[in-house]
Structure 1
Amino acid sequence: MSLKSSAISGVKWTTTSMVIVTILQLLQLSILARYLDPTDFGLMAILMVVIGFSQAFMDMGVSNAIIHRQKISNSQLSSLYWLNIISGTLLALLVIVLAPLIASFYEEARLNNLLIILSSVFIIVSLGNQYRILCQKELLFNLMAKIEVVTASLSFIVAVYFAYSGWGVYALVFSMLTQALTSSILFLYVGLKNHHVPTFSYKHSEMKGFYSFGLFQMGEKSVNYISANIDKLLIGKMVGFQAVGFYNMAWQLIIFPLAKINPVVNKVAFPVYAKVQNDPKALNRYYSLSVKILSLLTVPILAFLSFFANDVVLIVFGKGWEQTALLVTVLAFVGIGKALGNPGGALILALGRADVGFWWNVFWASTVSVTLFIVLSYFQTVEAVAFTLLALSVTVGVIWHVLIAKIGRISYLGIFLHFSKVVVVTITIAWFAKQSVHFAQLEAPILRILLAGVVCFMLYAPYLFLVEKPLFKSFKKD
């Protein structure tokens, strides 16, 4: 099977798992929104920021170096495996030590016990993380898709059961632990059977090249996580946990297209970029194709969410989440900006330039942190945060694309023109659907959404067939 055929197969398998997992997670979010209150989701948002930030230090940032390096010995893999275990254990202990301080900072005693429980996720993930990376490197996306579906299903069952039983925020915590444990066990089983059994050895001399790559990767991940979540941290401290809950639920809707569709392409694109990193023409072709496909998939969904935020939030979360609907209207356009910029990260890593990603994220995190702190000092509303992020993504975000074009030697004009065309077309279609719904004067939210969806599909499908047909035909060429 050729590299392109493997990539297409990977996209198909990853798409299948993405659809199933997304349905389960949306259903889970919808059910839990009716049993938990905004404060519970606000608490979980802060917990996830702490845990997510710590995970950036999980393996000293060297996991992606396994994909970047086309040749790697079993001895090196063994050393990296035990590094993963050790760093995971140390991180668990660190979170336990810091838990009382974090709880004190936010003046919320419940954070202490919740963080201590969640700290075990680092040890759990470290057991199977390397084998997940190896599966991705070898383009075994059919296997990865099956594991993702199994873990999402078990996580869904646990979350709903404990939420229904009145466990509150612990339903979210237990769900996360279930997902991590199931995934780690399955990848560990597959890895020991098909890849390698780590020997009880660690050779520091073989790790020097990995550390240079990993340190920048670790720094990039940690700083990137801060910049992506500093809004929640500041809202939690300066406005309150209920506000974080409304804001985080808005991001949950916006992030679904980005977190589910983008990885379908990027998970496959990263190892593909790495394999053609020395062929500028092929790299340009694959990168352009991936960005264009992402824009066709994510932009229509985000435009629809922005125009029909009130009805979507009412259907998914129920009553009492009106503030979330207002935030979705604005944050959807922030998501559109992220959809264009997201693939650049995979390209940078594939070229071995983790240093560029690190320094960019330092700059972006600093800009976002200072700007949001000033804005919240004056306004202290989550709506102000949404509009500020939109302004920053339109202005400062342009610099990122300039870097990608220069370092990757990417011809960006065609990409930008295509992306702009898709944005204009989808916004126009969403506006027309909005007018159609208004003209129909339907009272039930589900009927309004169904009508809007039908109108959007009837207008967008011909556009894809008539205008974007050459792009899809390129998949058939080997």
Structure 2
Amino acid sequence: MSGISGRLIKGSIWLSFSRAIVNGLATLSTFILAWNLTPSDFGVVALGMTILLIVSTVTELSLAEALIRHEAPKDSHFSAAFTLNATRGLLLALFFAGFAWPAARLFDEPRLTGVMLALGLSVFMSGLTNPRRIMLQRDLIFWQEFVLAVSQKLTGFIAAVTIAIIYHSYWALVIGTLVTQATNVVVSYLVLPFWPRITFRHMREFFSFSAWLTAGQIVNTLNWRFDYLLVGKMLGGTSLGYYSVGSNLAMMPTREATLPLTQTIYPGFANIQHDPPRLAAAYQRVQALVAAVALPAGIGVAVVVDPLVRLTLGEKWAPIIFIIQALASVFALQTLGSLVQPLGMAKGETRLLFIRDTQMFAVRVPIMVAGLLFAGLPGVVLGRVFTGLFSALVNMILVRRLIGVTVLAQLRANSRALVSAGVMAAGVSFASHHLAYAADKPALALQLATIVALGGFLYCATTFLLWELMRRPDGPETEIRNILGKMLARLRPVGSAPAAKQTEK
């Protein structure tokens, strides 16, 4: 396990660097675009992206996951994956070209025609990506992933921001997506050269693994994306713009704080799938670490979002404050069971994941529709809060079935993080309530910095106080200490190690 753990930690460090850059660019891009575009601009692109995600997922072949789990993939497997992906991309591009005008009529949004045509080109380019790049994840090698992630985000950022500042047009969002996808294709072949052939071999082999996984992805995407179509159709583009931006910003802190860890999980679990005790122990360790990072990130943003939005986006975006407050905490709490997806995939239980997704779809749709009909956009948001918490419980029950770890044991492993996040939220809310209202930007920035620092101190202090009181049990604190120790060891001067050994002698 030590070899795998070491590679996972090294991979997490590479991904942490890349996500820090990507997250910084994404945040800066969101702020610049929000200043230069309108909620309606975000709404029309969100509508097109939602249709793209649903159609893409319905036709998703899950070839990357099949290649990771394959014991010895050959060049013919990669060529077959390229052929299938390219064929799918071409068919989807043709579908988008034919559906662009009817979609614009359906949603009474003329601008949607051009957006759909451009997104069709984007999905075609995505089908041309180098299939061998998935081996970087399989072999737990992540520096090339760093190059891929940073290069595509940087080019997309430059394109989107330039067009937004010059033209103030929703095309900034669309062209940014196209440039990002084009960069992804080109760089994928530069970091890992491969010349694919056209072949349809291994189709049965691919589909035998991916059938249930693809079915689950279809249901899951419909489950978590149909509300965008619902809001766009019933409430209009402006409401959809608020909903889309608010949801993305609410998800960002949890996603960006945990992605360096979660992106390495599936190949790590797959490597030890045949050793149940090690798999169960690895799951508990990683899940507790993910939650320890996600809870302060998500809940912390929820309690400071009011001054954050007013300072960075301006008063015109004030309606998204409630959306972020409600959803950011839920996204963080969902990490208590979110790793069941890579766990189930590693164990080959894709049918079980499909059943879970179908059941959640049956629960979520009527709740979201009822919320919209009775309370409009706030009702949709509250529906997402309820179903999000319910899905976290369902995931923890599924973890118990897969590896035998009870729900109570899972909660116990996260008890210090949960208590610390509660103390942080209470302390920051109390301080915010008693601080004087800041009208000007400098005072607002100072107020925001103060409560963020207070929240970070309260969370860290409470966590390590509880850890000491519980006599330093194994958990996230141990993992963080080990990771920091490895990082510091790499930063030591070259001559210090021999000196230390000589002292020991």
Identify if the C-alpha distance between structure 1 residues 200 and 303 changes in structure 2 by more than 3 Å, giving closer, same or farther. Answer: closer
CA distance in 2, matches of 1:162, 1:184: 22
1:334 partner amino acid: V
1:388 matched to 2:387? The reply is no
Match of 1:319 in 2: 315
State the shift of 1:466 in Å. Answer: 4.2
Alignment of 1:419-458 (within 5 A): 419-441=414-436, 443=438, 444-458=443-457
Candidates 178, 197, 201, aligned match of 2:195 = 197
2:218 partner amino acid: S
Identify if the C-alpha distance between structure 1 residues 74 and 177 changes in structure 2 by more than 3 Å, giving closer, same or farther. Answer: same
- The superposition leaves residues 202-237 of structure 1 with CA deviations (integer Å, 9 ceiling, x where unpaired) of 32xx33231022222222222211111122111111
- The superposition leaves residues 16-42 of structure 1 with CA deviations (integer Å, 9 ceiling, x where unpaired) of 111111111000000111111111111
Match of 1:404 in 2: 399
State the shift of 1:358 in Å. Answer: 1.9
Match of 1:333 in 2: 329
2:291 partner amino acid: S
2:129 partner amino acid: G
What secondary structure, in the 3-state scheme, does the structure 1 residue paired with 2:336 have? Answer: helix
State the shift of 1:442 in Å. Answer: 5.7
Between 1:405-414 and 1:361-370, the stretch displaced more is 405-414
1:270 matched to 2:266? The reply is yes
Alignment of 1:153-192 (within 5 A): 153-192=154-193
Alignment of 1:65-464 (within 5 A): 65-192=66-193, 196-203=194-201, 206-379=202-375, 381-395=376-390, 397-441=392-436, 443=438, 444-464=443-463
Paired residues of 1:273 and 1:347 also in contact (CA < 8 A): yes
Identify if the C-alpha distance between structure 1 residues 226 and 142 changes in structure 2 by more than 3 Å, giving closer, same or farther. Answer: same
Match of 2:44 in 1: 43
CA distance in 1, matches of 2:5, 2:149: 23
1:62 partner amino acid: L
State the shift of 1:277 in Å. Answer: 0.5
CA distance in 1, matches of 2:351, 2:99: 29
2:173 partner amino acid: L
State the shift of 1:332 in Å. Answer: 2.0
State the shift of 1:346 in Å. Answer: 1.0
1:61 partner amino acid: S
State the shift of 1:258 in Å. Answer: 3.1
What secondary structure, in the 3-state scheme, does the structure 2 residue paired with 1:119 have? Answer: helix
Q: Which has the larger radius of gyration?
A: 2
CA distance in 2, matches of 1:178, 1:464: 43
2:345 partner amino acid: L
TM-score by length of 2: 0.88
CA distance in 2, matches of 1:129, 1:49: 25
1:235 partner amino acid: V
Match of 2:478 in 1: 473
State the shift of 1:412 in Å. Answer: 4.0
Identity of aligned residues (%): 22
Paired residues of 2:37 and 2:169 also in contact (CA < 8 A): yes
TM-score by length of 1: 0.93
- The superposition leaves residues 287-331 of structure 1 with CA deviations (integer Å, 9 ceiling, x where unpaired) of 112211111111112212222221111123112111100121211
State the shift of 1:434 in Å. Answer: 2.9
Paired residues of 1:250 and 1:324 also in contact (CA < 8 A): yes
1:431 partner amino acid: A
Match of 2:31 in 1: 30
CA distance in 2, matches of 1:122, 1:131: 19
Paired residues of 2:254 and 2:328 also in contact (CA < 8 A): no
CA distance in 1, matches of 2:411, 2:62: 31
Paired residues of 1:442 and 1:448 also in contact (CA < 8 A): no
CA distance in 2, matches of 1:233, 1:424: 37
Unaligned runs of 5+ in 2: 487-505
CA distance in 2, matches of 1:431, 1:121: 45
* Corresponding pairs, count: 472
2:104 partner amino acid: A
Between 1:333-342 and 1:350-359, the stretch displaced more is 333-342
Unaligned runs of 5+ in 1: none
CA distance in 1, matches of 2:157, 2:294: 24
Paired residues of 1:45 and 1:245 also in contact (CA < 8 A): yes
CA distance in 1, matches of 2:455, 2:74: 52
CA distance in 1, matches of 2:49, 2:362: 21
Between 1:269-278 and 1:206-215, the stretch displaced more is 206-215
RMSD over aligned CA atoms reads: 2.1
CA distance in 1, matches of 2:244, 2:431: 31
Paired residues of 1:61 and 1:216 also in contact (CA < 8 A): no
- The superposition leaves residues 109-136 of structure 1 with CA deviations (integer Å, 9 ceiling, x where unpaired) of 1111110111111221122251332221
Identify if the C-alpha distance between structure 1 residues 441 and 377 changes in structure 2 by more than 3 Å, giving closer, same or farther. Answer: closer
- The superposition leaves residues 154-177 of structure 1 with CA deviations (integer Å, 9 ceiling, x where unpaired) of 111111100011241110011111
Paired residues of 1:348 and 1:408 also in contact (CA < 8 A): no
- The superposition leaves residues 358-394 of structure 1 with CA deviations (integer Å, 9 ceiling, x where unpaired) of 2221221232122211222233x21111111212223
1:247 partner amino acid: Y
1:213 partner amino acid: F
Between 1:239-248 and 1:24-33, the stretch displaced more is 239-248
